Structure 1
Amino acid sequence: MIVQKSVLGLFTATLLGSCSMMMGQGTTYNFKHNPNAADPAAMGRAVATMDGSMVSTTLSLSGLTPGKAYIAHYHAFGPASSTDPCASSGPVTLGFPNFSADANGNASVTVKGDMTKIMGDMGAYINVHYASDPSVVPICAPVKMTKG
């Protein structure tokens, strides 16, 4: 009985330790180019890292228009699609700080927020817009692929 409890305790400690390491590494989402002519070389990734009830997401982007101002947001699934979150036109759930591409067209921006802003069908995708014209969305990163 004592041996079983010791083994169970060791297993639980190992399992919890590996979970905290996974939480520290984060989950990576790759951006895809939207079907428009804006920033044709744009690409990047989003890395979301959980810490308790909070999430920190860092966007690392390249191929943007040098010196141009951008905005980025997490969006919930919208009514337009159940299979492509980037085409679903969902509401904003968490906004990133405004940012600009550097002289080489690169940018990095981080947002921290409550997990409830991206749980379930919230945070189904992250998109990057022109700050001067939010209807222009060069790239999008699907975070959740199906509704529900």
Structure 2
Amino acid sequence: MTSLLSACTMMGQPKTFTFRHNPIAADPQAAGSAQVMTQAGGMVTTTLTLTGLTPGKTYAAHYHAFGPDSNTDPCASNGPVTVGFPSFTADAAGRASTTVTSEMAKIAGDQGAYINVHYGDDLKVVPVCAPLKMTKG
């Protein structure tokens, strides 16, 4: 990811990744993007902008590292959390956004290979995922 972020997010120029809906019934209209921007001092700011969520529902989002379950689909790899976003609640129209700033080291390499958005009250429910890196290594 370091090379991905370095090549695509020169200081002040964000890289945008699109969320895709996971093959589950939860929030079938959920969609959105993750905007990743490098900052001074080895920091990265990521802003999630989402639509189609359940109005009034609380969500959690996390960067995940590649897990053991897949070499080609980070969203299916069941990897460990590397950075958590502040929890957020969808507005009456099902829209929400949240931002986190983290050290590049916590999302570089195979860390931060994808971002999941989970139901806040049931982290097993993951309506959308944004793959940031498609292969290990």
**Is this a same-fold pair by TM over 0.5?**
yes
Equivalence for 2:109: 120
- Within 2, Cα distance between the matches of 1:56 and 1:105? 23
SS in structure 2 of the partner of residue 116 of structure 1? helix
Runs of 4 or more above 3 Å deviation = none
Higher relative contact order (CA 8 A, sep 6+): 2
- Within 2, Cα distance between the matches of 1:141 and 1:114? 19
**Deviations, residues 7-35 of structure 1 (Å, cap 9, x unaligned):** xxxxxxxxxxxx9x832121100000000
1:67-106 alignment, distance < 5 Å: 67-106=56-95
Equivalence for 2:3: none
Query: Which residue among 21, 38, 52 is the counterpart of 1:50?
Result: 38
- Within 2, Cα distance between the matches of 1:98 and 1:47? 17
Percent identical among aligned pairs is 66
Instruction: Name the one with the larger helix percent.
Output: 1
Q: Is 22-31 or 119-128 further displaced after alignment? A: 22-31
Query: Which residue among 123, 128, 134 is the counterpart of 1:139?
Result: 128
The answer (yes or no) to whether the contact 2:10–2:38 under 8 Å persists in 1 is no
SS in structure 2 of the partner of residue 48 of structure 1? strand
- Within 2, Cα distance between the matches of 1:79 and 1:121? 12
The count of residues paired between Structure 1 and Structure 2 equals 129
Equivalence for 2:50: 61
Tell whether 2:96 aligns with 1:107: yes
Q: Output the TM-score relative to the length of structure 1.
A: 0.85
* Cα-Cα RMSD: 1.2
Gaps of 5+ in 2: 1-6
Q: Output the TM-score relative to the length of structure 2.
A: 0.92
